[in-house]
Structure 1
Amino acid sequence: MRFNHLVTSVTLSILLIGQQVHAKEWQIQMLNYGSAEQGGMIFEPAFIHAQVGDTITFLPSHSGHNAQSYVVPEGSRQWKSSLDKEYTFTLDAEGIHLYYCPPHLMMGMVGMIQVGAAKNQALIDKKAPRLRSKMALKPERMDALLSQIR
């Protein structure tokens, strides 16, 4: 009986360690200027397809930016970085994070992280147009993000 318990414990430990080793660390730059086709006030990359356990770090590559969640997957908490400060969090649930830069939302500074399956697609479909309506410039960026959801 003890041998079976030991084998089970060791097996679970190996599986957990294996999951941690495979977690990816993503970096998102907050930029005043991207490439010519991207234009100004962007997150780079603007769309990420990640997995539960991956970490996201927002880097204030240029000053005057922060990132704030607008929609998060069920079971995740809303988040907001401080202005001009690096911010890291771990993805803890499947679904889509839709986020923006509060000072530059009207300029179209939005981004999206899909974690595994798009379990909160209905909420994204409902709320994305509301956020898009606040974008005076580059509202097509929201359309481009939505088109990348799998």
Structure 2
Amino acid sequence: MKFHKILIAASLVLASTLSISAAEYEVHMLNKGADGKTMVFEPHFLQIAVGDTVKFIPTDKGHNAETIKDMFPEGGNQFKGKINEEFSVTFDVPGAYGYKCAPHFAMAMVGLIVVGEDPANLDAIVNARGPAKVKDAFAELAAMVGQ
């Protein structure tokens, strides 16, 4: 009986330690950002730890967030929220994740989440094919890695 109580106490300590170490971030989907730019994610760049969660919030209507094909690490989570849907993603695989708002992709409504310190797939994101506006946005985002 005493061993059972010790095991339960140890499990509770471990569970509380794990929940404290993981962080949750919010990304808002906006028609206009604080800097005056239109059709943006705010923040549009995050550098987080493995196990952290990002909550995507459609602050303004008409937006979604979804990974872009070939812009996430091998084995990483693909995600695709519905229009006007709030949802959360926990990132368990290190690397860079490029994402977009599907209705406003041509307007370069994109963002970048870097999980861990050294995203091996960052060059693939920067060199991906796409509209010039989107390529410029990802080059700007990639320059923020490690800052």
Which interval holds the TM-score relative to the shorter structure?
Answer: 0.7 to 0.9
- How many residues matched? 143
Aligned equivalent of 1:20: 19
Cα offset for 1:15?
4.5
Preserved CA contact (<8 Å) 1:105 1:134:
no
Preserved CA contact (<8 Å) 2:33 2:40:
yes
Distance 1:54 1:103 in 2: 27
Task: Give the TM-score, by structure 1 length.
Answer: 0.79
Distance 2:60 2:6 in 1: 51
Percent identity over paired residues: 32
Quick one: structure 1 residues 24 and 114, their matched pair in 2 at CA, closer, same or farther if it must change by over 3 Å? same
Distance 2:46 2:65 in 1: 15
Aligned equivalent of 1:93: 93
Task: Give the TM-score, by structure 2 length.
Answer: 0.81
Deviations 1:59-108 (A, max 9, x none): 00111110111222332231100011101111111111111111111111
SS at match of 2:112: strand
Aligned equivalent of 1:144: 140
Distance 2:105 2:75 in 1: 25
Distance 1:68 1:129 in 2: 19
Residue type of the alignment partner of 1:54 = D
Deviations 1:17-70 (A, max 9, x none): 31321211100000010134x510100000011111211110001111101112
1:43 corresponds to 2:44: no
Residue type of the alignment partner of 1:56 = V
Aligned equivalent of 2:33: 34
Distance 1:128 1:105 in 2: 16
Preserved CA contact (<8 Å) 1:101 1:110:
yes
Equivalence map 1:77-116=2 (5 Å): 77-116=77-116
Residue type of the alignment partner of 2:145 = I
- Please identify, of 66-75 and 12-21, the stretch whose mean Cα deviation from structure 2 is larger: 12-21
Residue type of the alignment partner of 1:110 = V
Preserved CA contact (<8 Å) 2:46 2:112:
yes
Residue type of the alignment partner of 2:66 = Q
